[in-house]
A and B are shown apart, each in its own frame.
Chain A
């Protein structure tokens, strides 16, 4: 881990919130049997072959956002998809929410068309910006068919993926929330599974508390993690905060992805949350990106790499 921490400019203390990039790229994830680890794209680790599973993560495309920070969110999403297409070994993709800015039908259409350009099976979870109209029915019908409330699971190449919805039940004064019904479903979903099976959980809002004052966490995430802690390899992938952060706690690796639309400030920044407004001209795409994830058989790692768009 320390090697990886150094690579992404962290202080080397893997439990500290120092592993931070700004907004918007992709992460390369590899799943490999034990303690997850990551690698920047372009590094030797990221270039390693022989993996069992390689998939992509994109997040926070915010189609419909058009402010000076980024007047062309379809363009930056398309650029992210071009990065995805350049990785010929990825077998699927996840999108960790805020596909649109305002949940409008034309915004969902635009995002869907661009993302289909990757020609990869894509699994979605909603962000709070995707459920703004009609209790999210437009999102659920199109992006989580068969999962009317947006949570579901599937297996791919030996890895069990769990998609959670922590934006459907937010309470006044609270943060993200899973809710009792979803937690009961999760418990049932995990029952009988071998603890040696690698688990990847993905949801929009971080399932660890990044910064409570800004709501960057999930109120009942501890209950979900209690159900998941027996698994030897657990990787939690989130979006929402538009910047890369990583934390490892025991056998759990948490990672948040960059946005493809705009960066947000670091937690506690006096500017408050929201789009960073003073991005220097020409620098935006260096703050946006996609994530690659891969599983390497016979190694104790899930490798993650974030790639910026420029």
Chain B
């Protein structure tokens, strides 16, 4: 048993230095949907950032890629208080909209 634990710890010790520098600390950005609008219509982040939208309206919304048809992704309908998170790992300009209320649009710029 002890030997097994020791081996596991050793393996971890060997692996950790490899992994930590390769994966930069995960970056997070949170924003909201309110009053039938994406509150931050343009969000600028660095590559590797996860953007999270939380719906504060009484009406459901979605975060849907504006790259269709068909869109490359669409969140589930976000009821009040629901969130949707998406990792942006490559530089670029990513437009999105709400598929229920297509007048609602936003952009994520990844640097």
Q: Mark B64-92, 1 if CB is under 8 A from A, else 0.
A: 00100000000011011000000000000
Tell whether, in the assembled complex, residue A274 and residue B36 are in contact, meaning their CB atoms are under 8 Å apart: yes
Tell whether, in the assembled complex, residue B60 and residue A174 are in contact, meaning their CB atoms are under 8 Å apart: no
Secondary structure call for the A interface: loop
Tell whether, in the assembled complex, residue A132 and residue B77 are in contact, meaning their CB atoms are under 8 Å apart: yes
Tell whether, in the assembled complex, residue A275 and residue B59 are in contact, meaning their CB atoms are under 8 Å apart: yes
A174 to B60, CA, bound (A): 18
Tell whether, in the assembled complex, residue A172 and residue B59 are in contact, meaning their CB atoms are under 8 Å apart: no
Distance in Å from the Cβ of B70 to the closest Cβ of chain A? 10
Tell me if B8 counts as interface (CB < 8 A to partner A). Answer: no
Tell whether, in the assembled complex, residue A274 and residue B102 are in contact, meaning their CB atoms are under 8 Å apart: no
Tell whether, in the assembled complex, residue B60 and residue A129 are in contact, meaning their CB atoms are under 8 Å apart: yes
Tell whether, in the assembled complex, residue A173 and residue B36 are in contact, meaning their CB atoms are under 8 Å apart: no
- List, in ascending order, chain A residues with CB within 8 A of B66's CB: 172
Tell whether, in the assembled complex, residue A102 and residue B60 are in contact, meaning their CB atoms are under 8 Å apart: yes
Tell me if B18 counts as interface (CB < 8 A to partner A). Answer: no
Specify the chain B residue showing the minimal Cβ separation from A272. B35
Tell me if A214 counts as interface (CB < 8 A to partner B). Answer: yes
- List, in ascending order, chain B residues with CB within 8 A of A277's CB: 58
* With contact pairs A67-B80, A102-B77, A274-B36 given, residues A174 and B59 touching in the complex (Cβ less than 8 Å): no
Tell whether, in the assembled complex, residue B97 and residue A101 are in contact, meaning their CB atoms are under 8 Å apart: no
Tell whether, in the assembled complex, residue B58 and residue A103 are in contact, meaning their CB atoms are under 8 Å apart: no
Secondary structure call for the B interface: loop
Tell whether, in the assembled complex, residue B77 and residue A103 are in contact, meaning their CB atoms are under 8 Å apart: yes
Distance in Å from the Cβ of A107 to the closest Cβ of chain B? 12
Residue picked from A133, A172, A275, most chain B C-beta under 10 Å: A172
Tell whether, in the assembled complex, residue B60 and residue A173 are in contact, meaning their CB atoms are under 8 Å apart: no
Q: Of the candidates B58, B59, B102, which one forms a contact with A175 in the assembled complex, judged by CB atoms under 8 Å apart?
A: B102
- List residues of A (274-295) whose CB comes within 8 Å of B's CBs: 274-275, 277
Tell whether, in the assembled complex, residue A272 and residue B100 are in contact, meaning their CB atoms are under 8 Å apart: no
* With contact pairs A132-B77, A172-B95 given, residues A213 and B103 touching in the complex (Cβ less than 8 Å): yes
Tell me if B57 counts as interface (CB < 8 A to partner A). Answer: yes
Tell whether, in the assembled complex, residue B102 and residue A215 are in contact, meaning their CB atoms are under 8 Å apart: yes
Tell me if A267 counts as interface (CB < 8 A to partner B). Answer: no
Tell me if B101 counts as interface (CB < 8 A to partner A). Answer: yes
Residue picked from B35, B66, B77, B105, most chain A C-beta under 10 Å: B77
- List, in ascending order, chain B residues with CB within 8 A of A172's CB: 66, 95, 97, 102, 105
Q: Mark B52-66, 1 if CB is under 8 A from A, else 0.
A: 000001111010001
- List residues of A (199-222) whose CB comes within 8 Å of B's CBs: 213-215
Q: Of the candidates B36, B95, B102, B105, which one forms a contact with A170 in the assembled complex, judged by CB atoms under 8 Å apart?
A: B102
A277 to B35, CA, bound (A): 12
A133 to B74, CA, bound (A): 11
* With contact pairs A102-B77, A103-B77 given, residues A170 and B99 touching in the complex (Cβ less than 8 Å): yes
- List, in ascending order, chain A residues with CB within 8 A of B57's CB: 274
Specify the chain A residue showing the minimal Cβ separation from B74. A132
Tell whether, in the assembled complex, residue A69 and residue B58 are in contact, meaning their CB atoms are under 8 Å apart: yes
A132 to B105, CA, bound (A): 18
- List, in ascending order, chain A residues with CB within 8 A of B97's CB: 172-173
Tell whether, in the assembled complex, residue A215 and residue B101 are in contact, meaning their CB atoms are under 8 Å apart: yes
A190 to B108, CA, bound (A): 45
Tell whether, in the assembled complex, residue A214 and residue B79 are in contact, meaning their CB atoms are under 8 Å apart: no
Further contacts, 9 of them, CB under 8 A, given A214-B103, A275-B59: A65-B58, A101-B79, A103-B77, A128-B100, A129-B100, A132-B76, A132-B100, A133-B77, A214-B36
9 pairs, A vs B, C-beta closer than 8 Å: A132-B60, A170-B99, A173-B102, A215-B101, A215-B103, A273-B59, A274-B57, A274-B59, A275-B58
A residues bordering B, Cβ < 8 Å? 65, 67, 69, 101-103, 128-129, 132-133, 170-175, 213-215, 272-275, 277
| Closest 7 pairs between A and B when the two form their complex, measured CB to CB | A172-B97, A172-B66, A132-B77, A215-B103, A272-B35, A170-B102, A67-B58
